[in-house]
Amino acid sequence: MRVSVIGCGYLGAVHAASLAQLGHTVTGVDVDSEKIAHLGAADPPFYEPGFADLLRSSLASGRLRFSTDYADAASCDVHFICVGTPQADGSRAADLAFIRASVAALIRVLEGQTRRTVVVGKSTVPVGTARSIAADLALTSPNTVLVWNPEFLREGLAVKDTLEPDRIVYGLEDGERGQFGARTLDQIYSQALGRNTPKIETDYETAELVKVSANSFLALKISFINAVSRVCDATGASVTDLSSALGLDERIGPKFLRAGLGFGGGCLPKDLRAFSVRAAQLGAAGLAELLDQVDRINLDQRDHIVELTAAAAGPDLAGQRIAVLGVAFKPGTDDLRDSPALAVAAKLAQRGAVIAVYDPAAGPNLPAAIPNLPLTVAATPADAVKGATAVLVLTEWPEFSNLDPTELGPLVARPIVIDGRNTLDPALWRQSGWEYHGVGVR
C-alpha cells in the first residue's frame, strides 16, 4: 500500500522504515529538515539497536523516502500520525500542539479528494482526542476514515516491537466506515496478523485508554516495588528475593518489579501525568490520586539515592568526586529524556559534588542535554571512577554487572559503591573491599 508517516521521531522513523520493510511504499514527512536530511541519508538521528540497518535496507529497496512537504504524501492511501505529545510547559497535561498542526496540514492535503483514505493515529493522546480529530476531518474530508491504533514500542526494542507487536488495537468509528478502516489496516499488518498476533477492535476512547493505562500500570508496578523496598531497608528483608517470589505468581508476573532508581524516559512519566490530569477533568479523582502517588514515589527514589550517597560518603558533598556509571534512562538507548540517572547527577552537582559520568551510548548527548551542569564525560568506567569518593551505578547496562571491583578498587579515593539498579553482585564487591549499598537489599 502507499502510506505516509507524519512525524519522523522515534516512533515515526521506526514505523516508516518497518512498513517499507514489510513491502509498503512509504513517504516519511517531518517539518524538521535536519532530521529528514539525516534519515534520507540513512543516518539515524538517534541510537536504536537494529534501526540503522533497517533504515539502510528500506531506503535501498526504493520503497522509502523522506520529505518536509506534506504535498508529497497526497497520493497515499493511508496516513499515519506519529508526532510527539510531550508534557506541556508549566503543566502536567499533554501538549497536543504537534497533533493539531499535523492534522491541520493533513486536512489541507486531503481536502477535496474524492477517493477514500484512512488516517491512523498512533500518537499517545488524552482520551477524547480521536473523536475531535474525526469531527475535524469530517468537516472538510468526508471521504477520510480515522482509526486510532496505539503503538506500544519500547526503546531499545523498537524495531522488534514494530515488526512483531504483541497486540494490535484498532479504535474505530461505528458501521461500514469503521470496518473499511479496519480492513485497510489489516492489509498493512497482514504479516503480523498472519502470525495470529492478538487484535482488539474497539471504539476510539478505549483504544486511547489502552495505551495510557498500559504505561500507567507499568509505572504502578515499579513504584509499588520501590515503595516496598523501603520496608525491606527498614527490616533487613531483600526486595530482590521478594520480587522473584512475587513474580512466580502468574497473576502478578515477574516483569517491571525491579526495584531501583525508578522509571523515566519519554513515555511513562509524561503519560502517567497526562492521564492523571485527564482523569481529574473527567471526575475520576481516585485514579488521579493513585497516579499522582505513583509519580511521587518514583521521583522520591531519586532523592533517596542522593541521601544514600550523602550518608555513605559524608553529608557534605561539596568538592567530593563522584562517579556516575550510566546516565541513559534505561540500558539499550542513548535517550536522556526524564532520565532518573541524570536527575541524580544534577542533584549531586547542585550540592557541589564534582561529577564524572560514563555511559556506553548517552555520553556524547550529555553536553547538549545539560549545557549548564559542570559534568565531565569519561570514555571508560575506569576513567570515571578515578579519585572518586563514591561510585554510583544508575543505569543497568550489562557491562556494569561485569565490572571487576578488584581492578576499580585501586583507582578510587574511597571504595563506596551505590548500586541504584541492584545490578551488581553485593558479595563480590564486599569481598573486594568495597562498601556496598543497594535499594532494598542488604
Q: Which residue numbers are catalytic? A: 267
Contact stretch for ligand UDX (CB under 6 A) within 37-45, 250-258, 303-311, 355-363: 250-258
Q: Does 268 bind ligand UDX (CB under 6 A)?
A: yes
Which residues have C-beta within 8 Å of that of residue 89, sequence separation ≥ 6? Answer: 95
Residues 430, 436, 441, 442, CA torsion sign: positive
- Whole-angstrom Cα distance, residue 150 to residue 117? 19
Site for ligand UDX in 140-169 (CB under 6 A): 152-155
Which residues have C-beta within 8 Å of that of residue 102, sequence separation ≥ 6? Answer: 6, 7, 81, 83
Q: Which is nearer to ligand UDX, 137 or 210 (CB)?
A: 210
Q: Which is nearer to ligand UDX, 173 or 295 (CB)?
A: 295
Can you count the helices (H) and strands (E) in the chain?
Answer: 18, 14
Q: Which residues of 196-227 are buried (b: 16+ CB within 10 A; e: fewer)?
A: eeebebebbebbbbbbbbbbbebbbbbbbbbb
Q: Rounded to the nearest whole angstrom, what is the least distance from the CB of residue 311 to ligand UDX in the complex?
A: 22
Q: Does 257 bind ligand UDX (CB under 6 A)?
A: yes
Q: Does 46 bind ligand UDX (CB under 6 A)?
A: no
Q: Does 256 bind ligand UDX (CB under 6 A)?
A: yes
Residue 344: which of 402, 391, 387, 383 has the closest Cα? 391
Q: Does 258 bind ligand UDX (CB under 6 A)?
A: yes
Q: Which is nearer to ligand UDX, 180 or 224 (CB)?
A: 224
Burial of 122 (C-beta count, 10 Å sphere; 0-12/13-18/19+): buried
Q: End-to-end alpha-carbon separation of the chain, Å?
A: 57
- Whole-angstrom Cα distance, residue 424 to residue 105? 50
Neighbour tally for 421: CB within 10 Å = 27
Q: Which of 51, 329, 358, 397 binds ligand UDX (CB under 6 A)?
A: 329
Contact stretch for ligand UDX (CB under 6 A) within 22-30, 60-68, 246-254, 256-264: 256-264
Q: Does 426 bind ligand UDX (CB under 6 A)?
A: no
Q: Which is nearer to ligand UDX, 165 or 409 (CB)?
A: 165
Q: Does 220 bind ligand UDX (CB under 6 A)?
A: no
Neighbour tally for 140: CB within 10 Å = 12
CA atoms within 13 A of residue 165's CA, in its CB half-sphere:
23
Q: Which of 260, 326, 363, 438 binds ligand UDX (CB under 6 A)?
A: 260
Q: Which of 122, 321, 330, 437 binds ligand UDX (CB under 6 A)?
A: 330
Q: Does 267 bind ligand UDX (CB under 6 A)?
A: yes
Number of residues interacting with ligand UDX: please give it, by CB under 6 A. Answer: 19
Residues 206, 210, 216, 220, CA torsion sign: positive
Q: Does 224 bind ligand UDX (CB under 6 A)?
A: no
Q: Which of 121, 262, 363, 426 binds ligand UDX (CB under 6 A)?
A: 262
Q: Which is nearer to ligand UDX, 63 or 302 (CB)?
A: 302
Q: Which is nearer to ligand UDX, 298 or 389 (CB)?
A: 298
Residues of this chain that bind ligand UDX (CB under 6 A):
152-155, 215, 218, 222, 256-258, 260, 262-265, 267-268, 329-330
